[in-house]
Chain A
Amino acid sequence: MQYNDPTYGLQYFEEILIGVILIIGISAFLFFFFTFYKRLKRLKEERIKTAYQKIIDHQLFVYLFEDKPREVIIENPEFSNNLSSNLFKRLSIKSIISLHQNYSGTYRKKLENFYADSGLSDYSLKRLNASYWVHIVEGIRDLSGMNYQQAYPRIVSYKNHKNEMVRTEVLLGMIKLKGVAEITKFTTSELFLNDWVQSNILYLIKNEHIPPPGNFEELLNSKNGSVVVLAVRLINHYQIAELYQTLSGFYQKTTNKKLKREIALTLKKTEQIS
């Protein structure tokens, strides 16, 4: 019957071929559709973002520079009605953090109070409860960026989180909230502070003008080699002259090439200064 027909195999194969063509054709169309759908969705989101940003900028300007009580802003329907939107909350937090970085003194304090009283801090705290590490990092960044001291114990509780990005953010958050001395809590830890993490710590310290800790010896005597390297870099940054002698001693003793290099850089700079 069919099996004796030499074209039977080919016909069967052609049917498969048509099926595969249909699947591939539909897939191509779906990718085309999703690309444009994604683009249109993004454009719509951009429009909403622009509208939200306008409201946020206006309200924050009125609050900061026209000395309106924060309750007035928080209860303003233009602001409060939009607070149900997560996008609005995220944009508000971003704007407040940005202003917080650019201002000091009373303005800074006013922004911190606004962040706490408007319920935006609750949103950030909720992010800490998320199972998704990205949200946890965002939460830590927002809370520490806004100097929300009440969040400190919660942030520290993530010190040994399985995700490396979370652990790094915890360390940066701790420094932002309590100062450089927090690094001493890692002197016996096995956490390896690679150069990338250290550059982030130094950047934070420089940008936020965080004062030096009083316990450099503790950092220098750390069992964690990466903390020792960081300590030398911090001494270099703060130019702690009374520790240069100690560093010279370290230079003679240590066999760690990287540590030697960092100490040499610090001491070389000192000679140039004196």
Chain B
Amino acid sequence: MTGTETIDIFIQVFNFFILIFAIFVMLSYLILSIISGISLKSYLRHNRFVNYNALLSLENAPRVSLIAPAYNEGKTIEENVRSLLAINYNNFDVIVVNDGSKDNSIPVLIKAFNLVEKPLHYNERIPTKKVKTVYKSTNPSFSRLIVVDKENGGKADALNTGMNISQNPYLVCIDVDCIMDKDVLLKLAKPYLEESNKKTIATGGVIRIANSCIIKSGKLIKVKAPDNLLARSQVIEYLRAFILGRMAWNKLDGLLIISGAFGMFDREIAIQAGGYYTNTVGEDMELIVRMRRYMIDRKKDYHVQYIPDPLCWTEAPESYKILGKQRSRWMRGTMETLWTHRKMMFNPKYKILGMLSYPYWLFFEYYAPIIETIGIIITFILVIFGIISWKFFFLFILLVYLYAVMFSMMALYAEEATFKRYESLKDLRKLTFIALLEPIIFHPFTVFSALKGNWEKIIGKKSWGEMTRTGFDKRPG
């Protein structure tokens, strides 16, 4: 090749490594998709006979607290809270934690819901920033609402405050600006009713992209594929991740994450495990890993359940700037969780979590963007120096591109065969088009953002970054 033995060996080792890594990534995606397909089919077969309203017949249905942290949400908070109070369930309360907002969130809530100060009995089982006031409504129609005003401490701290305030055995932690399916609590609670020998410690569901969807009075009226190409790319990305990925990890009992936008937890286990970790920007993933470790370390049988139904709709970033901040934060969160729980790596004590899930996240979620970038740069250099032919280079790029397209098509097929939420042919065409474009306009940027996340972690950046949202229409119709 080059005539220099050392360089030749290096090139051969490099090529071999990149090739093996690529094959492993591709194969793992394929295997996970097959497992997902099988378990989705089984889930839908069972679910066609399920009547969720039956759960409302049970007076002792699991009592749930919805915890909604809010920071400077004054403009939309009233509509958001009304939307949460309208959820179809019998045993629940809504705890809004105002995390030291600088806007008029508290006055808006006091006026809208006739709130009055309540004597403070705050049992601080998890240490948090100081709670200033707890409010309850004088209007019996809003008896389910509790508003907590506290000093600013970040999302995790606000969630921990909600955990301390709650008197219910189950918690649902949500992003206040998400659109929830009205049966969300029924669906999240069902696995807790079905438990026999194993304790269900957490349930989580699918998050979908709400951009361009028709939303009225906080309800999703019609699902549409986003007009914005970046948001549409994320529809494909979410379909791949939730339909083809997490369902498989659930089947393997190796789920490491329940999305922060919403998930239901056993309150006692979450508190005993230490609550949300405030020093990470990936507190959702970190908590679920810690709860699982807590159960395994104490040799307790447990279960984490994933529900593949689309239950929560969120607004995706439509600009590269906001998307970049989000992805960089996700990468920092992943790094922090993986580092905190490094003891799990290839540790047979943690079974599938230690032997499969953790290494998968480390190699294919954390290292993948780094390896991908290094691989492309070195391959490009080898092409420039004529060591690898352009033909080979383009063939390899074509392979990667087609694989990404195939995987997106597979996700679209899975969606069409299961939940069929994109009803018009126009939407299907739009999604097919973006599946062809996504590997070019979206994926490289997410890789870049992941690298930026690495860099920001190295320089010690800890902030969340601004996440500007357009917002939905949650006003009563």
Which residues of A pack against B, CB within 8 Å? 6, 10, 13-14, 17-18, 20-21, 24-25, 27-28, 31-32, 34-36, 38-39, 42, 134, 137, 141, 165, 169, 192, 194-196, 198-200, 202-204, 206, 233, 236, 261-262, 265
Q: For residue B420, which residues in chain A have a CB less than 8 angstroms away from its CB?
A: 42
Query: Would A38 and B413 count as touching, CB distance under 8 A?
Result: yes
Per a CB cutoff under 8 Å, which of A13, A28, A203 touches B51? Answer: A203
Q: For residue A21, which residues in chain B have a CB less than 8 angstroms away from its CB?
A: 395, 398-399, 402
Given contacts A20-B399, A194-B195, A196-B193, contact A28 B406 (CB under 8 A): yes
Q: For residue B392, which residues in chain A have a CB less than 8 angstroms away from its CB?
A: 10, 13-14, 17
A196–B410 Cα distance when bound, in Å, is 34
Complex: chain B residue closest to A196, CB-CB: B193
User: What's the minimum C-beta distance from A224 to chain B, rounded to whole angstroms?
Assistant: 13
Does B458 have its Cβ within 8 Å of any Cβ on chain A? Answer: no
Given contacts A24-B403, A194-B196, A236-B59, contact A6 B1 (CB under 8 A): yes
Interface positions, chain B 369-423, Cβ under 8 Å from A, are 389, 391-392, 395-396, 398-399, 402-403, 405-406, 409-410, 412-413, 416-417, 420
User: What's the minimum C-beta distance from A245 to chain B, rounded to whole angstroms?
Assistant: 21
Does B86 have its Cβ within 8 Å of any Cβ on chain A? Answer: no
Query: Would B409 and A203 count as touching, CB distance under 8 A?
Result: no
Q: Which interface residue of A6, A18, A24 has the most chain B CB atoms within 10 A?
A: A24
Q: For residue A236, which residues in chain B have a CB less than 8 angstroms away from its CB?
A: 59
Q: For residue A25, which residues in chain B have a CB less than 8 angstroms away from its CB?
A: 402, 406
Which residues of B pack against A, CB within 8 Å? 1, 45-46, 48-49, 51, 53-61, 190, 192-196, 389, 391-392, 395-396, 398-399, 402-403, 405-406, 409-410, 412-413, 416-417, 420, 425, 428, 432
Query: Would B54 and A200 count as touching, CB distance under 8 A?
Result: yes
Per a CB cutoff under 8 Å, which of B389, B396, B409 touches A32? Answer: B409
Complex: chain B residue closest to A30, CB-CB: B409
Q: For residue A137, which residues in chain B have a CB less than 8 angstroms away from its CB?
A: 49
A165–B425 Cα distance when bound, in Å, is 35
A-B contact count (CB 8 A): 99
Given contacts A27-B406, A199-B54, contact A165 B395 (CB under 8 A): no
A195–B194 Cα distance when bound, in Å, is 6
Q: Which interface residue of A38, A194, A203 has the most chain B CB atoms within 10 A?
A: A203
A199–B404 Cα distance when bound, in Å, is 44
User: What's the minimum C-beta distance from A28 to chain B, rounded to whole angstroms?
Assistant: 4
A265–B420 Cα distance when bound, in Å, is 42
Given contacts A27-B406, A38-B413, contact A203 B54 (CB under 8 A): yes
Query: Would B45 and A265 count as touching, CB distance under 8 A?
Result: no
Q: For residue B193, which residues in chain A have a CB less than 8 angstroms away from its CB?
A: 194-196, 199
A200–B57 Cα distance when bound, in Å, is 8
A137–B46 Cα distance when bound, in Å, is 10
A198–B51 Cα distance when bound, in Å, is 13
A13–B54 Cα distance when bound, in Å, is 59
Query: Would B417 and A38 count as touching, CB distance under 8 A?
Result: yes
A206–B59 Cα distance when bound, in Å, is 13
Enumerate the 8 nearest inter-chain pairs by beta-carbon distance, A residue then B residue, closest first: A31-B409, A195-B193, A28-B406, A203-B54, A202-B57, A196-B193, A203-B57, A199-B58
Q: For residue A261, which residues in chain B have a CB less than 8 angstroms away from its CB?
A: 60
User: Given contacts A31-B406, A196-B55, A199-B56, could you give 15 more A-B pairs where the C-beta distance is less than 8 Å?
Assistant: A14-B391, A14-B395, A17-B396, A17-B399, A20-B399, A21-B402, A28-B406, A39-B428, A42-B420, A194-B193, A195-B192, A198-B58, A199-B57, A202-B58, A204-B54
Complex: chain B residue closest to A264, CB-CB: B60
Complex: chain B residue closest to A17, CB-CB: B395
Query: Would A192 and B196 count as touching, CB distance under 8 A?
Result: yes
Given contacts A196-B194, A200-B54, contact A24 B413 (CB under 8 A): no
A13–B420 Cα distance when bound, in Å, is 41
Query: Would A35 and B49 count as touching, CB distance under 8 A?
Result: no
A185–B224 Cα distance when bound, in Å, is 51
Given contacts A17-B399, A32-B432, A35-B413, contact A24 B406 (CB under 8 A): yes
Complex: chain B residue closest to A24, CB-CB: B402
Complex: chain B residue closest to A163, CB-CB: B46
Query: Would A31 and B412 count as touching, CB distance under 8 A?
Result: yes
Given contacts A36-B428, A265-B59, contact A141 B49 (CB under 8 A): yes
For this complex, 28 residue pairs linking A to B, each with C-beta atoms less than 8 Å apart, are A10-B392, A14-B391, A21-B395, A21-B398, A21-B399, A24-B402, A25-B402, A28-B402, A28-B405, A32-B432, A35-B409, A35-B413, A35-B416, A35-B428, A38-B413, A38-B416, A38-B417, A39-B416, A39-B428, A195-B194, A196-B190, A198-B58, A202-B58, A204-B54, A233-B58, A233-B59, A262-B60, A265-B59
Q: Which interface residue of B1, B190, B193 has the most chain A CB atoms within 10 A?
A: B193
User: What's the minimum C-beta distance from A115 to chain B, rounded to whole angstroms?
Assistant: 20
Q: For residue B425, which residues in chain A have a CB less than 8 angstroms away from its CB?
A: 39
Q: For residue A36, which residues in chain B have a CB less than 8 angstroms away from its CB?
A: 428
A169–B46 Cα distance when bound, in Å, is 12
Complex: chain A residue closest to B392, CB-CB: A14
Q: For residue A204, which residues in chain B have a CB less than 8 angstroms away from its CB?
A: 54
A141–B51 Cα distance when bound, in Å, is 13
Q: For residue A194, which residues in chain B have a CB less than 8 angstroms away from its CB?
A: 193-196
A20–B194 Cα distance when bound, in Å, is 45
A10–B55 Cα distance when bound, in Å, is 63
Q: For residue B413, which residues in chain A have a CB less than 8 angstroms away from its CB?
A: 31, 34-35, 38
Complex: chain B residue closest to A262, CB-CB: B60
A27–B392 Cα distance when bound, in Å, is 22
Q: For residue B432, which residues in chain A have a CB less than 8 angstroms away from its CB?
A: 32, 35
Complex: chain B residue closest to A21, CB-CB: B399
